[in-house]
A and B are shown apart, each in its own frame.
Chain A
Amino acid sequence: MYVAVKGGEKAIRNAHKLFASKRRGKANVPGLTIEQITEQLSFAIDRVMGEGSLFDRGLAAMAIRQAQGDMIEAIFLVRAYRTTLPRFGYSIPVETARMHVERRISAAYKDLPGGQLLGPTFDYSQRLIDFELDPEAPAPTPDQSETVEAGPMPRVTDLLGADGMMEPDPEDHPEGLIGDLTRDPLSFPADRDLRLQNLARGDEGFLLALAYSTQRGYARTHPFAGEIRMGDVDVSFFAEEVGFEIPIGRITLTECQMINQFKGSAKAPPQFTRGYGLVFGHSERKAMSMALVDRALRWKELGEEQTAPAQDEEFVMSHSDNIQASGFVEHLKLPHYVDFQAELDLIRMMHKESADRDTDTAQQEAAE
């Protein structure tokens, strides 16, 4: 007997309740606090802020907790909240040369003005699970060099630029106009400002794979990690009412300048070129991936050949956003039985026709 497909509303309510109880886990285990997440899962926070395009550690922690640690879901929560926020204006571009640097390394020079500063890093550690790690034990106090305020740390690319070995920074737009793909629909071809914005919001895994592909010969870009720096920068806003810049806060950024060998083309002289990566928080993997992909996407302006997916801006930009991608992939869970019925009808007809044809041929052969 046919049971009418009713009760969707009640089923959804119950599914949500069940989910909430799954989120909490066993009641005798203490619930996660926001401080625990912001203090002890900082890389998770940074990823959610970066791909969620909103610098707010507390909000990112709330999203991670609500999403039960599903990063893309947490990013989605932050994005959906972000769109509802009023927009007062755009900040003055941040100056990463004046960053309060916590970490700064260059793979291109042994030593350089400002020095190499390892800072906090996973690098060089043995990836052994630490069975002895006591979450309650106080962390060792890091040794401090005499807290001499480090001298100025010019960017490596500026050092190379001084003698013409490095392509210069791109010129500012004469009216300071920068595209914003959250406000205007994307159209192709896209300029580098939009490409960088897209990459900065893009999925770390997707960019990592694309960047990796460029290293394996799909659009080879001959990269050197010219410089990676991480630290805090001041954000200022030009207030029309008072007529001057007001510092409104400080954010943590990771910046990567890839230096790429370039033998010159009809469009540009032989010199080092660059790929650029900039992300919220501490995320070197993402910043480096972004820089490699940015460089690969610049093939046209540098007069290179286009041969690989990482160079194809329509392919890269249309598929980098994990909120769009996961939504569309997962929408296949929605009912599609109307379309399926239509296909079933067609396949049945074609199946029958094919079977009839086979029978005809068999009869014909038997007759011969």
Chain B
Amino acid sequence: MSLDTLSATAPAYNFAYLDEQTKRMIRRAILKGIAIPGYQVPFAAREMPMPYGWGTGGVQVTAAILGPDDVLKVIDQGSDDTTNAVAIRNFFARTAGVAMTAATAEASIIQTRHRIPEEALTENQVLVFQVPIPEPLRYLEPRETETRKMHALSEYGLMHVKLYEDIARHGHIATTYAYPVMVEGRYVMDPSPTPKFDNPKMHKMAALQLFGAGREKRIYALPPYTDVVSLDFEDHPFSVQEWPDTECAMCGAENVYFDEVILDDKGSRMFVCSDSDYCETRQAEGHFGPQHAEYKERLK
């Protein structure tokens, strides 16, 4: 810092809102989380100026790791322009003034809710997840005192029984998002409510993955290149969502996660990429889907 940047009046809020003591406390929790991949570290989450359940955990993690030179991307449902992503981006624009981007490749920190970008992330990036219920066993056992014990003893029989019962009853594992994963063969972890489509991306990801749950006061982490295996059975292997014979109506992409858009009240629908930056980048590169104006132009 130079003398020029020192001003007589203190700013109303610290850089990235949280005071430095709080950031230090959160960084310690993050470091502990990185040291024990998949373990939920309790931390003294603060009340944030946005409601619990709206990303306060992710926001605190981002605020604790954010530096003035970082480039931040915020997505919700895969898109930079969904309302809550906009609100969180505004929060950091106002309190930290860092550079913002929608381009996945340009971001040094990506805060996300419910998706992992389609484009592979690199070692120079950090992916921060907003987590509502960090405990993968919560719906099987509501008591924290019990679930902590189960993690301590690696006692995950209950989870396997649940998955087995799904198969016995429905013929499938009836979990489509927040699909439980085993981390480095030790902790069962909730990947946050991302669709199971994104689970394979977590496995041995080059980027650091951090998970913040504000209301539940937990942080956990996946260091780069961590083993992340979705739970399954030999005769019922894990599989991800597929949309056979479907391409993005705007960019023509296949094998991505799609949003289904209803076009009228007569059952017409189309599919578009959930990852809006991925879709726009492809369009800019000249890939078009059947609903794109250029596509129709080309057919003429």
Contact = CB atoms under 8 A, between A and B. Distances in A.
Interface stretch (B61-69, B183-191, B193-201, B230-238): B193-201
Interface in A306-363: 314, 318, 323-324, 326-331, 334-339, 341-346, 349-350, 353
A176 interface: no
Interface residues of B, number: 62
Contact of A342 (B49, B196, B217, B250): B196
A140 B54 CA distance: 49
A164 to B, nearest CB: 35
Interface string A172-197: 00000000001111111100000000
Interface in B151-210: 170-172, 174, 176-177, 193-197
A82 B49 CA distance: 10
Interface stretch (B81-89, B121-129, B221-229): B81-89
Given A2-B249, A335-B83, A341-B260, A327 B215 contact: yes
B76 A334 contact: yes
A2 B170 CA distance: 35
Given A83-B47, A344-B260, A12 B177 contact: no
Nearest to A325: B52
Contacts of A9: 81, 86, 90
Nearest to A330: B51
B197 A342 contact: yes
B44 A336 contact: no
B258 interface: yes
A8 interface: yes
B204 to A, nearest CB: 23
Given A323-B52, A328-B132, A342-B241, A185 B43 contact: yes
A5 interface: yes
Contacts of A323: 47, 51-52
A8 B81 contact: yes
A328 B170 contact: no
A336 B84 CA distance: 11
A185 B45 contact: yes
Q: Is the interface of B mostly helix, strand, loop or mixed?
A: loop
B78 interface: yes
A76 interface: yes
B272 interface: yes
A69 to B, nearest CB: 18
A29 interface: no
A20 interface: no
A138 interface: no
A190 to B, nearest CB: 10
A6 interface: yes
Given A80-B48, A328-B215, A338-B78, A2 B261 contact: yes
A193 B200 CA distance: 45
Nearest to B51: A327
Given A8-B83, A9-B86, A331-B54, A346 B176 contact: yes
Contact of B49 (A7, A80, A337, A341): A80
B186 to A, nearest CB: 21
Interface residue SS majority, chain A:
helix
A5 B170 contact: no
B108 interface: no
A86 B48 CA distance: 15
A6 B81 contact: yes
A225 B224 CA distance: 60
Contacts of B48: 80, 83
Contact of A339 (B114, B172, B249, B258): B114
B274 A338 contact: yes
Given A339-B195, A341-B259, A342-B241, A324 B52 contact: yes
A11 interface: yes
Contacts of B24: none
B77 A345 contact: no
Given A79-B47, A338-B115, A342-B195, A12 B217 contact: no
Contacts of A265: none
B53 A8 contact: no
Contacts of B217: 185-186
B53 A327 contact: yes
Contacts of A182: 44, 47
B144 interface: yes
A121 interface: no
B86 A84 contact: no
A1 interface: yes
A271 to B, nearest CB: 30
B77 A337 contact: yes
A335 B75 CA distance: 12
Nearest to A183: B44
Contacts of A346: 172, 174, 176
Interface in B18-70: 19, 42-49, 51-54, 56
Contacts of B195: 338-339, 341-342
Nearest to B270: A2
A4 B45 CA distance: 36
Most B CB atoms within 10 A — which of A1, A341, A353? Answer: A341
B177 A342 contact: yes
A84 B13 contact: yes
A353 B270 CA distance: 23
A37 B52 CA distance: 28
A2 B241 contact: no
User: What are the nearest 9 A-B pairs in CB distance?
Assistant: A327-B52, A331-B53, A327-B51, A342-B176, A185-B42, A328-B53, A327-B53, A342-B195, A185-B217
28 contacts: A2-B261, A2-B263, A5-B79, A8-B82, A9-B81, A79-B47, A83-B47, A184-B44, A185-B44, A185-B218, A186-B217, A187-B144, A188-B144, A189-B145, A323-B47, A327-B215, A328-B52, A331-B51, A331-B132, A334-B76, A334-B83, A335-B76, A335-B82, A338-B195, A342-B195, A342-B197, A343-B177, A350-B170
